[in-house]
Amino acid sequence: MLDHFFYMTGHSNYPQVSWMDFSAFCQQLHLIDETTLTLNDIDLLYISTTSSKAPEKPQGMNNLCRYEFFEIFVRAAKVKYLERGRASTIDEAVKMLINNHFKGNYKYKPQGGKTFREEVIWQ
């Protein structure tokens, strides 16, 4: 997930992920549907996650920082799987979200700097 965060921040407002970019990311993951997790749910999760009063987050900053990027997916797993009765624990719900949506549905292939240099730059 950390690789996905870094990829998203490169396409958003580094070092954060904007609301619109996060919504598009959820659609690429096929996370949004009409029964278990709607776009309205994603919007509410985004607002509740970014409105924290954490002292390390500057006032007026409404984009997802790194820890919030992970937090919002835990919240989404809770809504999509735990509250709908498809999982019995939150860790099971998070595992289901990762296995069902992160693995295989996203076209970005995480790669480290070494792989990028060897396969792209030095070729």
Q: What is the pLDDT of residues 33-68, one digit of tens each?
A: 988 989 899 999 999 888 866 666 665 568 888 888
Ordered by start, the domain boundaries in the chain are: 2-121
User: Position 99: which residue type?
Assistant: N
Looking at CATH, the fold of the domain delimited by 2-121 is given as: Recoverin; domain 1 (1.10.238)
> In this prediction, what percent of the chain has a pLDDT beyond 90?
24
Tell me what pLDDT residue 62 has.
81
What's the one-letter identity of residue 90? I
User: Is the Cβ–Cβ distance between 32 and 42 less than 8 Å?
Assistant: yes
CB 62 within 8 Å of CB 23:
no
What pLDDT, on the 0 to 100 scale, is given for residue 107?
Answer: 64
pLDDT tens profile 102-122: 877 666 665 566 666 677 777
pLDDT of residue 105: 65
